[in-house]
């Protein structure tokens, strides 16, 4: 049975942990404990060009907590965020054995120990993969905690069952797209980046993520059979839409999507999502549709069935940075702007 004294020792041991740039190789809570692809050291290395930092909590020689982050300097301010392309992160915590209440207490204690070691910052923001005790610990340390919604489909079910559970209009879009387009697996990360940038430029938008780093990340995923680019093409080979899928820890993520602005296309992305569902089924995975940012997006993604899943956004801002950020957004952001922010 875990005593309160041993829990306090875990928190005290946080003072011996270190912060630094490294590609973590030593045993630590990662995807094996957290069930999260984005905690894997290879992912963090590839997404950040080895610039990821972390804080850790140890219990004796064992790492029981780890919180990765990336540091940005902007206009003299220090910003701590998730790496590019990483949609959820937060702490990876090993609460040990014991009753649920004991594990809850340890999770909160370890997470508080991680938060207390973060370097001084003006702004911090991360998305936690679920509504969990870690969110309580952030709230306890004065962070704002808010929900973020996504849809998750259990693709271990038969494809016929998933198809029947989809909205009839979504099925219609898929059927019509199947008559017009061919879905292929794209093995060129540079072609994806070029197509992505061209589509943004046509819409007068810019990507708020490090697209130059994408080929490195895609190669790391392909090396580990953890990613795929799907492309919907016309019979002449011209692409009309592409998606980037990644998977690990039992979940496939709809990580990135881009579509041309052709007027006669209203089903290419739906076709790619349906293809991704079938890919996830063949691997026995759940499929996280990952991206409910507006009511319009929610309506589109809900057409594929699945259940609503709640993540937690935790953020904290120093007063001056928050005021300047709010003013900048009001002044510079067009009313109808759409951005591709994957951080």
In order, the DSSP letters of 273-339 are HHHHHHHHHHHT-EEE---B-SHHHHHHHHTT--EEEEEEEEEEE-HHHHHHHHHHHHHHS-TT---
pLDDT of residue 235: 92
Q: Domain locations in the chain?
A: 4-142+311-332, 151-305
- Helix and strand totals (H; E) in the chain: 12, 13
Q: Which of 149, 147, 144, 137 is nearest to 123 (CA)?
A: 144
pTM here? 0.83
CATH superfamily of 151-305: Gcn5-related N-acetyltransferase (GNAT) (3.40.630.30)
Q: Three-state DSSP class for 164?
A: helix
59-92 burial by CB neighbour count: b if 16+ within 10 A, else e? beeebbbbbbbbeeeeeebbbbbbbbbbbbbbbb
Work out the number of other CB atoms within 10 angstroms of the CB of residue 35. Answer: 15
How far is the C-alpha of 303 from the C-alpha of 179, rounded, in Å? Answer: 20
CA distances from 65 to 68, 114, 129 (A): 10, 7, 16
Give me 126's structure tokens.
Answer: 């991360």
- The answer to whether the CB of 316 falls within 8 A of the CB of 144 is yes
pLDDT number for residue 17 = 41
CB 241 within 8 A of CB 258: yes
Which pLDDT value is given to residue 113?
Answer: 96
151-305 shares the fold of 4-142+311-332: yes
What are the structure tokens assigned to 274, written together?
């349906």
Which residues lie closer than 8 Å to 305 by C-beta, 6 or more apart?
153, 162, 165, 166, 167
pLDDT one digit per residue (tens) for the chain, 343 residues: 444 444 444 444 444 444 444 444 444 555 445 579 999 999 999 999 999 999 999 999 999 999 999 999 888 899 999 999 999 999 999 988 889 899 999 999 999 999 999 999 999 999 998 878 899 999 999 999 999 999 999 999 999 999 999 999 999 999 999 999 999 999 999 999 999 999 988 888 877 677 999 999 999 999 999 999 999 999 999 999 999 999 999 999 999 999 997 756 779 999 999 999 999 999 999 999 986 778 888 889 999 998 999 999 999 998 877 677 666 666 655 444 433 333 2
Task: Name the class of domain 4-142+311-332.
Answer: alpha beta
- Residue 267, pLDDT score: 92
Query: For residue 76, what is the DSSP state?
Result: T
Burial of residue 16 (CB within 10 Å: 0-12, 13-18, 19+) is exposed
DSSP state of 130: S
């Amino acid at each position: 049975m875990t005593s309160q004294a041993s829990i306090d020792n875990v928190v005290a041991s946080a003072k011996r942990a270190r912060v630094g740039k490294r590609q973590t190789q030593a045993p630590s809570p990662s995807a094996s404990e957290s069930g999260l692809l984005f905690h894997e050291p290879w992912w963090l290395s590839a997404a950040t060009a080895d610039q990821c930092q972390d804080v850790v909590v140890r219990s004796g020689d064992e790492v029981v907590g780890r919180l990765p982050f990336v540091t940005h300097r902007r206009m003299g301010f220090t910003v701590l965020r998730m790496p590019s392309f990483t949609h959820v992160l937060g702490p990876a915590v090993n609460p040990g054995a014991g009753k649920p209440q004991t594990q809850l207490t340890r999770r909160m204690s370890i997470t508080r120990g991680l938060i207390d070691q973060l370097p001084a910052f003006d702004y911090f923001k991360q998305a936690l993969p679920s509504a969990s005790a870690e969110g309580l610990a952030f709230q306890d340390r004065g962070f704002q905690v808010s929900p973020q919604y996504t849809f998750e489909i259990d693709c271990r079910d038969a494809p016929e069952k998933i198809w029947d559970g989809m909205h009839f209009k979504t099925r219609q879009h898929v059927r019509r797209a199947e008559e017009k387009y061919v879905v292929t697996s794209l093995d060129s990360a540079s072609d994806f980046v070029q197509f992505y940038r061209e589509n943004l430029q046509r819409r007068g938008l810019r990507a708020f993520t490090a697209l130059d780093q994408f080929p490195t990340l895609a190669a790391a995923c392909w090396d580990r059979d953890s990613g795929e680019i799907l492309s919907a093409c016309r019979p002449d080979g011209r692409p009309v839409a592409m998606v980037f899928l990644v998977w690990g820890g039992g979940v496939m993520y709809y990580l990135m999507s881009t579509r041309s602005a052709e007027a006669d296309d209203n089903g290419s992305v739906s076709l790619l999502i349906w293809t991704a569902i079938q890919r996830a089924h063949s691997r026995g995975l759940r499929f996280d549709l990952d991206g409910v940012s507006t009511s319009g997006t929610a309506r589109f993604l809900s057409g594929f069935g699945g259940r609503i899943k709640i993540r937690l956004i935790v953020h904290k801002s120093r007063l001056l940075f928050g005021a300047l950020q709010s003013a900048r957004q009001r002044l510079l952001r067009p009313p109808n702007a759409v951005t591709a922010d994957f951080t």
